[in-house]
Amino acid sequence: MAVRVRKSVWSLPQGDPTLSWYRRAVAELIGRPANDPTSWRYLAAIHGVPQGMPVPAGAQSFWDQCQHQSWFFLPWHRGYIASFEAVVAQTIAELGGPEDWALPYWDYSESLASNPRARLMPPDFFNRTLPDGSPNALFSRRAAVQNGDFSLDDDVVTLDALQLRDFANSTPGAPSGFGGPVTGFHTFGGDNGALENLPHNRVHVQIGGRSGFMSDPATAALDPIFWLHHCNIDRLWEVWRNQGEDFLNPTSRQWRSAVSFPMHDANRKPFTFTSADMLDTTKVLHGYQYDRVPVAHEPAIEREMAVAMADEEHPELAGANSGPVQLEGAVTRTIVSVQPERTGRPGLESARPRPKHVYLNLENITGTGVPGDFKVYIDMPGDDKEPMLAGVMTTFGLAQASNPDREHGGSGLSQVFDITAQAEKLGLTRGNVSRVQVSFVREGVHATNDHVPPGLEAYVRAAPEDSNIKVGRVSLFYR
C-alpha cells in the first residue's frame, strides 16, 4: 500500500468522511477494555496515566513514557502517533471504512489570509451531539468556549521556533534549541525545546482550560483533538528539517539509537523504536507523508551535528534576583541584580568582555494545578518605557515536574529566553545597567465545560480550588 497522506483538517472537502470515520473509530476504541493495547484508554495511558486508572499487568513499561523537556520529544511523539494512527486505521478498515485512512492535522498557525478559520477547532470536534441527537465521540472535556474559538492568538500559534538552527543543547543557562535539551529517557522537568514551548504547550492549556483533559499530560491523549494537535507538531518538525541544510537532526548515537521506546502495532504486537527509526516518515510503521511541507533539501546526515555550541564558551551567571518568587495575581515583578563587574586595576576598563548573548533563566518553576501561562517582560525598574517581551513561560506538565516522587525529584520546570536584542536596548550588554525588572503577566485560563465523556467518566477531575506557581530563581546568563 502506498504511504498514507496526512492532510490539513481544514482542507478536507465538504462531505469528506475522514472525521466521521475517526469518530466511529474513537467510539469503538473507547469501548475496548483498558488492558487492550488498541483501546482508547491504553493508548492514552502510554502518554500519561490518569488518576484512577490501574496499570494492567504487563503494561508498566508501555505506560507513562511521554518524553517532554527532552530532545526525544519529537521522535518519541512521532512513533507514538504513528502507532495510534495504525490502530485507528485498522479499526476503520474493520468497520468497513477506507483502507488508506490517515490522521489529519490541525494547522492552527496557517495564515488567516488563506484560511480565516485556521485557529478555530473544526465543528466536528466541538458539537456535543450529532444531528441525530447521538453523542459526538469527538467532543471532549475542554475549555468552555463558543464556536471552537480557544483564543489561539498570534502569540499562541507563533512559529518562531522554526527559525532556530540548533536542534538541541546541553549547556546550562542557554536555550535548548528547536527540539529540546539533551537528556536520557526523560518524562518531565527542565527546559522545553522551542517548538515544545510554543505552540505545543500553550495550545494544550488553551484547549484544556482549568481542568480539561488537554491541560494535564496524564489525561491529554484522552481528548481526540490531542492527536490532530500532535500530528501538526510532527509536521512542523518536517517543515523545520526541510528548510535547508543547516537544519539538521542530531547524528550522535546518544540521540539516534542509545534510547529505545516500546509500543504496540495495530495487531497488538510489541515493538521498539529509536530516534533513528523516525527520521524518514515513509518508513515509520506503515509510512506517511504530509500534504504540505517544503521540499526537502538533500539531507546532510553525514555531517556530524555537534551538540549545539559545544565548543563555545559556556554561559556564565551574570545576575539573579534575591530568591523564589510566588506568582500571584495578574502581575508579579522581581528585580534581577547584575553582579558588579570586576574592573581589575584602577583606570582599566571592565575585565568582563561584552557578552554576545544574554539569556534570561527562570529556574526551578514548581507548583500545582493549572495556573496558566505567563508572558515575561523585562524593563528598567522605575522607568516609564514600555516593557519588552522576553518570552512566554508555559506551564504544561508543571504538576508532574513538581512531584518529588517522580523521576526528577520535584525540581520543576525551567525556561530560558534569548534576550540579547532586548538586553542591547536596555544597555545590559554595555554594562550600563545594574538592575533589571522582570514582570510575569498571567494569561487567563478558560473555565472548563461540564462534559463527561461516556466511558471516560472516571478520569474527569473537578476544577481545582486554586493553583499556585513559584519561580525558584530568575537569573541572567552572559555568553
Partner 1 sequence: MLVPALGPVLTPEARRGLRAPAFRWSLAPALLAWAMMLWLALQARPLELCIAPRAAALDGALAGIAAAFATVDPARWTGEWAVMIVAMMFPLLVPSIGHVAARSFAARREWSVALFVAGYALVWSAAAAAISSALLIARGSLAATDLASAAGLIGCALAALWQLSPAKARAINRCHGTTPLRAFGPAADCDAVRFGLVHGYRCVRACLPTMTLPLLGGHGLGTMAIVSVILLAERAQRSPQYGASAIALLLLGLTTTLGLPPQ
Q: Per rule CB under 8 A, is residue 431 in the interface with partner 1?
A: no
Q: Per rule CB under 8 A, is residue 317 in the interface with partner 1?
A: yes
- Select from 28-36, 154-162, 180-188, 459-467 the region that touches partner 1 (CB under 8 A): 180-188
Q: Per rule CB under 8 A, is residue 311 in the interface with partner 1?
A: yes
Q: Would you say 40 or 73 has its CB closer to partner 1?
A: 73
Q: Per rule CB under 8 A, is residue 335 in the interface with partner 1?
A: no
Q: Which residues contact 203 (CB under 8 A, 6 or more apart)?
A: 108, 152, 156, 157, 229
**Interatomic CA distance for residues 226 and 335, integer angstroms:** 38
Of these, 141, 264, 408, 461, which contacts partner 1 (CB under 8 A)? 408
Q: Per rule CB under 8 A, is residue 466 in the interface with partner 1?
A: no
Residues 340-379: x/- map of binding to partner 1 (CB under 8 A)? --x--------------------xx---------------
Backbone angles phi, psi at 227, to 5 degrees: -70, -30
* Coil/strand/helix, residue 457: helix
Minimum distance, C-beta of residue 412 to partner 1, in the bound complex (Å): 9
Of these, 287, 299, 410, 464, which contacts partner 1 (CB under 8 A)? 410
Specify whether the CB–CB gap between 36 and 268 falls below 8 A.
yes
Of these, 175, 319, 369, 455, which contacts partner 1 (CB under 8 A)? 319
Q: Residue-wise over 342-372: b if at least 16 C-beta within 10 A, else e?
A: eeeeeeeeeebeebebbbbbbbbbbbebbbb
Minimum distance, C-beta of residue 134 to partner 1, in the bound complex (Å): 43
Specify whether the CB–CB gap between 229 and 106 falls below 8 A.
yes
Cell 484522552 locates to: 222
Minimum distance, C-beta of residue 337 to partner 1, in the bound complex (Å): 7
Minimum distance, C-beta of residue 413 to partner 1, in the bound complex (Å): 12
Q: Which residues contact 302 (CB under 8 A, 6 or more apart)?
A: none
Angle value at C-alpha 371, between 159 and 136, nearest 5 degrees:
70
Q: Would you say 342 or 385 has its CB closer to partner 1?
A: 342
Minimum distance, C-beta of residue 363 to partner 1, in the bound complex (Å): 6
Cell 559556556 locates to: 314
Minimum distance, C-beta of residue 437 to partner 1, in the bound complex (Å): 17
Minimum distance, C-beta of residue 14 to partner 1, in the bound complex (Å): 47
Q: Per rule CB under 8 A, is residue 61 in the interface with partner 1?
A: yes
The three grid cell numbers given for residue 17, joined into one nine-digit string: 468522511
The three grid cell numbers given for residue 130, joined into one nine-digit string: 450529532
Minimum distance, C-beta of residue 327 to partner 1, in the bound complex (Å): 14
Residue 296 C-beta-side C-alpha neighbours within 13 Å:
14
Of these, 37, 148, 173, 199, which contacts partner 1 (CB under 8 A)? 173
Minimum distance, C-beta of residue 358 to partner 1, in the bound complex (Å): 16
Q: Would you say 21 or 80 has its CB closer to partner 1?
A: 80
Q: Per rule CB under 8 A, is residue 473 in the interface with partner 1?
A: yes
Of these, 117, 407, 431, 464, which contacts partner 1 (CB under 8 A)? 407
Residue list 184-203, contact with partner 1 (CB under 8 A): 184-186
Per-residue CA distances from 21 to 5, 84, 113 (Å): 16, 14, 30
- Select from 240-248, 287-295, 326-334, 470-478 the region that touches partner 1 (CB under 8 A): 470-478
Specify whether the CB–CB gap between 181 and 170 falls below 8 A.
yes
**Interatomic CA distance for residues 280 and 59, integer angstroms:** 28
Q: Per rule CB under 8 A, is residue 271 in the interface with partner 1?
A: no
The three grid cell numbers given for residue 397, joined into one nine-digit string: 506538565
Q: Would you say 20 or 339 has its CB closer to partner 1?
A: 339
Per-residue CA distances from 302 to 252, 253, 274, 462 (Å): 11, 13, 18, 52
HEC states along 204-240? HHHHHCCCCHHHCCCCHHHCCHHHHHHHHHHHHHHHH
How many CB atoms are located within 10 Å of the residue 16 CB?
13
Q: Would you say 186 or 202 has its CB closer to partner 1?
A: 186
Q: Per rule CB under 8 A, is residue 337 in the interface with partner 1?
A: yes
Of these, 324, 332, 431, 442, which contacts partner 1 (CB under 8 A)? 324
Specify whether the CB–CB gap between 289 and 282 falls below 8 A.
yes
Q: Would you say 333 or 406 has its CB closer to partner 1?
A: 406
Number of residues that bind partner 1 (CB under 8 A): 32
Contact residues: partner 1, CB under 8 A: 61, 172-173, 184-186, 310-311, 314, 316-317, 319-320, 322-324, 337, 339, 342, 363-364, 404-411, 472-473, 475
